[in-house]
Amino acid sequence: MATEQELKNNNPLQKEFQNLLDQDFKSRKLKENEIIKATVTEITKNFIVVDCKAKMEGMIPLEEFKNDDELAKLKVGSQIDVYLERIESFKGEIIISRDKARKMKAWKKMEKVFETQEEMTGYITGKVKGGFIATVEGLPCFMPSSQIDVRPLKRVDHLMNTPIKVIATRIDKNRGNVCVSRRAVLEKSKNAEITEALKNIKEGDIIDNAIVKATTDWGIFLDINGIDALLHVSDLSHGRVKKPSDLVTIGQKLKVKITKIDEKTNRVSASVKALTEDPYDNIDKKYKVGEVYEGTVTKIMDYGCFVKIEDGIEGLIHNSELDWTNRNIKPNKVLSVSQKIKFKIVNIDKETKRISLSYKAILENPWDQIKDKIGQEVKIKINNITEKAIFGALVDTGLSGMLHYKEISYEENIDDIKKFKKNEIINVKIIEIKDDKIRFSKRALDKDPLDWFKDNNKKVDDIITTRIHEVLKTGVKVSIDKDKKLIVTIRKADLAKDSADARPEVFSPGNALDAKITELDIKTRRIKLSVKAAQIDEEKSLIAKFGEGATKSGATLKGIFEKAIGKKGKKDK
C-alpha cells in the first residue's frame, strides 16, 4: 500500500506548485548579511510583521523602533530597511533586524560625514564613565563630558532623549567606535555669530556698555554686544590690583577700550587702564631718587612690602631696606597693611615700571653711631655660638658682630669658646668695621704679651735668655717673659749646633736657655727662636776675636772660653 508521502510526490499538481515556488525564490535573490527592503503587513502589541519576499514573514521586536519617531509614522504597507541575518533558521524562520540595519546604514553614513564634518541628529540615551551614550541614527556613540556643551554643565537632564545636533570627531573602524561632540556644533554656530558681530567693532574702539559676566583671580569676562571679551587683571589699572572682584560686580557695566582682536581665534581683549594716561610717563618729573615721600602700605609679601605712592604708582620696599640691624627681617614685624609711612626713593625704572624704596633710610643709622668706636670697649649679648666663633649684638644699638676664637685670648685656644653661654653679656673691644660687619676682640682688653719685645727693644737676630716651661718629644716650650704669658716652642733641630746634643730630654723645666730671635712678626704673631743659631753666632764671635786658627789647631770652645777668661784676668791684675 502506498504511503501518503508517496502519493503527494506522485501528485503532478503538487510538483508543479513546488517548482513555481522554487523559481520565485530564486528570482528574489536574497543574500544573508545584507540590508533588504521589507513591507509592513501587521503591527501587533509586541512585534512588527514584515514581508521580505521570503518563504515566510519576518517578525521584528517593537523595541527596535522606539529609539526615534519611526514607530509613530509606521503603518501597514510602509517599506523599511532590515538586516538579513539568516534566510532560514533551524526552525525554518527568517531572522531579520531593523536595529542592525539602522546601525549599518548609520555607520556608512558616519564614515562619509566624518570626512565632511556634517551635522547629524542624535539622542543622549545614557550615562557612562567619562561621558554619555549618544544614539545617532540608531548607532550608539560615545560623547565625552567635555563635549556636551561649551562650558561645564552641572545637570544634563534636559538634554536626555531629546534631539541634538552632533559632529563625529573620531571613528575607530577596527573596534566600531565613534566619538561625537555637541560642543563642536555649538562652537561652530557661536563662531559664525561672533565673526559676524566682530565686523561691527575694531581695535581702538571705546565701548561704554561692556557687561561683567564673570570674574577670576586673573581677569574679568565681559559681554560686548554678544561677544565674549577678556579684561586681564593687568589692564584694570595702572597700579597693582589684588583681586578683580574687589573692583567690579557681576552685571556691572564698564567703559573699556578694545586693545586686540585675534582673527584666528576670535578672541577679544579689552582694557580699562588704556582709557587713562600712564602715570609712569611723567614720573621722573614728579619724583626724584634720593628724596623722601609719604605713602600707604598696600601689600606685605615674604620678600618685602608694596607701598602706594599715588593712584597707579606703587613701589617695593625690599626686606634688606626695612631694618639696619637685620637684613632678612620679616616685613610683617616692621610694617602693616594700610599703615602710612615715609620712605626714600632708591631707584626708578620707567621701562619695567618698578620703583625701589627704602624705609630704613629715614631711620637713624646705628652704623653711623659706631663708626668712630673702633678700639673702644663695648658690651655685647651673645646670640649664637658656633665651633669657631661667637656671634653677639651690641647692647646699645643691636648691631651684630663676630668674636673669633683667636680673639678670645692671646693663647688662641679653640676650647676657650666653651667658657661662654648664650644670652651672656660680655665686654669686648671693636677692632674692625667693614661692609656692615663688625669684628670683636676680648683679648684686646688685656695687654698684649708681644709688647714685651717692644718694651725691651728686642728684634730679630737678638739673643735673649728664656726659661724652659715644658719639655716635649719634638722640642721644648720656653717662656720669654716673667709672667709666662709669652710661650714659644723651640724645635728639636734648633736646640743645639751638634745633632748629638739636640735632645729635649737633657733639658729640665726652669732651666735658663739662651736663644736667638730668628723670626718676629707682630701682625701674624709668629715668633721663632733657635739655640743653635745663638751658639753659631757666639762661636763666630770668639773666632773673630781669637783667630780662625783656634778651631783648626784642635782647640775646643771650652778652651777658647778659658783662654779668653785667663787673658782678661791677667789684664785685670
Give the model confidence (pLDDT) of 377-413 as tens digits: 899 999 999 999 999 998 888 888 999 999 898 888 8
In degrees rounded to 5, what are phi and psi of residue 15?
Answer: -65, -40
Mean pLDDT score, 322-351: 90
- 17 forms beta bridges with none
Q: Can you tell me whether residue 507 is helix, strand or coil? A: coil
Q: Which residues contact 350 (CB under 8 A, 6 or more apart)?
A: 280, 283, 284
Cβ–Cβ under 8 Å, residues 37 and 84: no
User: How wide is the angle at C-alpha 159 spanned by C-alphas 155 and 161, nearest 5°?
Assistant: 130
Sort residue 307 into left (φ over 0), alpha (ψ -120 to 50) or beta.
Answer: beta
What pLDDT does 571 receive? 45
- 215 forms beta bridges with 220
Residue holding cell 743653635?
Answer: 532
Rounded Cα–Cα distance for residues 231 and 272 (Å)? 8
What pLDDT does 24 receive? 55
Greatest Cα pair distance, the chain, in angstroms, is: 193
Give the count of beta carbons closer than 10 Å to the beta carbon of residue 189.
13
What pLDDT does 572 receive? 47
Between β-strands 437-441 and 400-404, what pairing exists: parallel, antiparallel or unpaired?
Answer: parallel
pLDDT band at residue 475 under the 50/70/90 scheme: very high
- List of long-range contacts for 419-422, beta carbons under 8 Å, 24+ apart: 420/382, 420/385, 420/390, 421/382, 421/385, 422/382, 422/383, 422/384, 422/385
What pLDDT does 561 receive? 53
In order of start, what are the domains of the chain with their CATH numbers? Answer: 31-115 (2.40.50.140), 117-188 (2.40.50.140), 201-275 (2.40.50.140), 279-362 (2.40.50.140), 366-445 (2.40.50.140), 451-551 (2.40.50.140)
Cβ–Cβ under 8 Å, residues 476 and 494: no
What pLDDT does 568 receive? 45
Convert the pLDDT of each residue in 177-234 to its tens digit. 889 999 888 887 777 767 777 777 888 888 888 888 888 888 888 888 777 888 888 8
What pLDDT does 10 receive? 58
Mean pLDDT score, 109-131: 86
Convert the pLDDT of each residue in 490-499 to its tens digit. 998 888 888 8
Q: What is the dihedral of CA 132, 135, 136, 142, to 10 degrees?
A: 30
Cβ–Cβ under 8 Å, residues 560 and 550: yes
In degrees rounded to 5, what are phi and psi of residue 522?
Answer: -65, -35
Mean pLDDT score, 556-563: 53
Rounded Cα–Cα distance for residues 100 and 87 (Å)? 16
b/e sequence 150-176, b meaning 16+ C-beta within 10 Å: eeeeeeeeebeeeebebbbbebeeeee
What pLDDT does 573 receive? 41
pLDDT band at residue 422 under the 50/70/90 scheme: very high
pLDDT band at residue 12 under the 50/70/90 scheme: low
**Would the pLDDT of 61 be above 60?**
yes
Is the alpha carbon torsion for 163, 68, 63, 136 positive or negative?
negative
How far is C-alpha 518 from the geometric centre of its chain's CA atoms? 61
Cβ–Cβ under 8 Å, residues 271 and 257: yes
**Would the pLDDT of 26 be above 70?**
no
pTM, entire model: 0.46
Give the count of beta carbons closer than 10 Å to the beta carbon of residue 425.
10
What pLDDT does 321 receive? 92
Cβ–Cβ under 8 Å, residues 59 and 47: yes
Number of H helices, E strands in the chain: 11, 30
Mean pLDDT, the chain, whole residue set? 82
Give the count of beta carbons closer than 10 Å to the beta carbon of residue 529.
25
Cβ–Cβ under 8 Å, residues 491 and 474: yes
How far is C-alpha 200 from the geometric centre of its chain's CA atoms? 44
- List of long-range contacts for 115-118, beta carbons under 8 Å, 24+ apart: 117/167, 117/168, 118/167
- 164 forms beta bridges with 122
